[in-house]
Amino acid sequence: MEKITCVCGHENPFGTKICGKCGRPLSEDAKAQKILDMRYDGSAIRSKTYNKSIIDKIWNFFSSVKVGVSLIVITLIASSLGTFFPQKFNIQAATEAEKALYYEQNYGTIGKLYYELGFSDIFNSWWYQILVGLLAISIIVASLDRGIPLYKSLKNQRVKRHESFMKKQRIVAQGPVTEGDPSKTLDLISEKMTQLRYKVRRDGNALLAEKNRFARSGPYINHLGLIIFIFGVMLRFVPGFHVDEAMWIREGEVRAIPGMEGYFLENEQFILETYDNDPTRAQIEQGVAAIPKNYQTNVKLYKQAEGALLGDTENMELVKEYSIRVNHPLKYDGYSIYQMDFRQNELKTMTFELTHKESGKSLGSLTIDLTDPDKEYVLGENTKVEILNYYPDFSGMKDGVPQTASQYPNNPAFVFKMTTPDKPKGEISFVSIGAPPVEAGENEYKMTFKNVETRNVSGLTIKKDVTIPILIIGGAIFLLGLAIGSYWNHRRLWVQQLEDGTIMLAAHTNKNWFSIKKDLDIVTDYAHLPKYRDQLEENGESDKEGDDVK
């Protein structure tokens, strides 16, 4: 591609609108403009310049602001559609098939479509991820394409600009100094602008005062933060970077921690504390008896012995004892274990008394650990109770055989064999809660229910997220870029003293024209400069804020 050689002799890359050295307008557009479009300082947007190979074409596609904005809009619409119906992970259904059915049953055909198109789990949908990925590419490519030429152009800018450049700036002035010695004018400008914290450069009869050039990097810093953020989110999908598991653990149990291989947790106690205040009016109105004060699980964290195999719980090493409370997770090795849920008063033990039916005489009592019952309980000489069968969650009879619905002691039932001195062969009785015992024949003895002990169950979640520092850094850079781009403005003032001593002046800022005019008022007054004009306001376009974003 050819270079554009300016009249001043400077070679500009193809597509340049304003000569990088002298500032003469080069493109037909720029020549026709009354006020120059100073976006990217007239440098060539890289993608606009070459459009030959497939790589260039793909590159140019992503470099387009139109494409970028379209991608943002599409992503926004897709994301909002994802809020129409509940997301999949919020639905109480065990299997994938049940979840699929849920959408169809509750929302009809639209629900089915919603599920099948992946809106029900939008962040894990392949097309949504592609969309965000394309957006990331667009941000990177567009930033590279504009940021690098802009940086070069600003870095290499000359002090002396051509008349045609100066005259086509929004703010211009021309004329003799209003009083004093014209030969001192440039010195005065230089002095005042330095005082106003501008950087002043001089080249013969020309002067350039510049301030806050870094403000132009704001959008690019902002984009960098966004890319780091997206990268952090992407890492969450990499195995090992993000763990989110849940577990139920009963008091007294030792369980392997899901997602945290080689570690075991023992639940020593679950504590629920409430405020012991008299019920307030609001409480009574809402039917709330007591207000919870604390949910707490006292745990012991164990680590499997070095080199131990899965399932080997010998020689576990106690690594930490901790009281997990809401917002005070147990933290270890990057993992956090949070208090999330609880169930109270699950049956733990049941105590029975072996009694003679008629006389009511007791032969002793026994306590059965419902999660670990013994085979037999010896109460005395020739007196014992055997458990023939145990149904922790008795759910009725099927073909004359008692059934259990689960392994949890929600509704324990037993088949006892009671051996007593009177009945050395033993008597058999089926005992369940809330029903009279079923006996084989006419028994003389019975198991009398005495009492129960209960225990609580803690619901814990296990989380690990290595990506959070990355997200914080990305977010911080994002905000930094936003602040730089928003609260600082790049201001420039070009001055030339012509041979007859008159002054030609032009000024530009990427935003906040009001402030640069205030600076100009000060320097005009101090160096007795001719009054400047705002060419945009003269054209009756004052309502339109001519701020350039980039």
Partner 1 sequence: MDKKKKRSIIRGIILLVLACAIIYTIYNSATKEKVEALADGDQAPDFELVDLEGNTHRLSDYKGQGVFLNFWGTWCEPCKKEMPAMERQYQQFKDQGVQVLAVNIAQSKFEVQNFVDQYDLTFPVVIDKTKSVMQAYNVGKLPATYLISPDGKVKKIPPGELSEQQIQSFMESIKPE
When the beta carbons of 287 and 311 are compared against partner 1, the nearer one is: 311
- Are 36 and 24 in contact by the 8 Å Cβ rule? The answer is no
CB of 309 to partner 1, least distance (A): 5
When the beta carbons of 239 and 424 are compared against partner 1, the nearer one is: 239
406: number of Cβ within 10 Å: 10
Burial of 537 (0-12, 13-18, 19+ CB in 10 A): middle
- Are 295 and 342 in contact by the 8 Å Cβ rule? The answer is yes
Closest CA to 157 of 46, 50, 40, 5: 40
The residues near 298 (Cβ < 8 Å, ≥ 6 apart) are 267, 268, 269, 270, 271, 321, 322, 323, 324
216: number of Cβ within 10 Å: 22
Query: Which one of 90, 92, 126, 381 is in contact with partner 1 (CB under 8 A)?
Result: 126
What are the CA-CA distances from residue 105 to residues 83, 91, 201, 540 (Å)? 18, 13, 74, 62
Binding of residue 104 to partner 1 (CB under 8 A): no
Binding of residue 115 to partner 1 (CB under 8 A): no
Binding of residue 311 to partner 1 (CB under 8 A): yes
Interaction mask 399-438, partner 1, x per CB under 8 A: -----xxxx-------------------------------
CB of 261 to partner 1, least distance (A): 7
Between CA 93 and CA 98 the distance in angstroms is 6
When the beta carbons of 375 and 544 are compared against partner 1, the nearer one is: 375
CB of 320 to partner 1, least distance (A): 17
Closest CA to 159 of 199, 212, 214, 215: 199
Of 17-76, which residues contact partner 1 (CB under 8 A)?
50, 53, 55-56, 58-59
Q: Could you tell me how many residues of this chain bind partner 1 (CB under 8 A)?
A: 47
CB of 92 to partner 1, least distance (A): 16
* Binding window for partner 1 (CB under 8 A); candidates: 4-12, 75-83, 249-257, 269-277: 249-257
* Binding window for partner 1 (CB under 8 A); candidates: 277-285, 308-316, 453-461, 539-547: 308-316
Closest CA to 495 of 234, 233, 208, 290: 208
The tokens describing 303, both together, are 């680590």
Query: Which one of 374, 439, 521, 541 is in contact with partner 1 (CB under 8 A)?
Result: 374
Residues of this chain that bind partner 1 (CB under 8 A): 1, 50, 53, 55-56, 58-59, 124, 126, 129-130, 133-134, 136-137, 140-141, 144, 234, 237-239, 254-256, 258, 261, 264, 309-313, 371-375, 387, 389-390, 392-393, 404-407
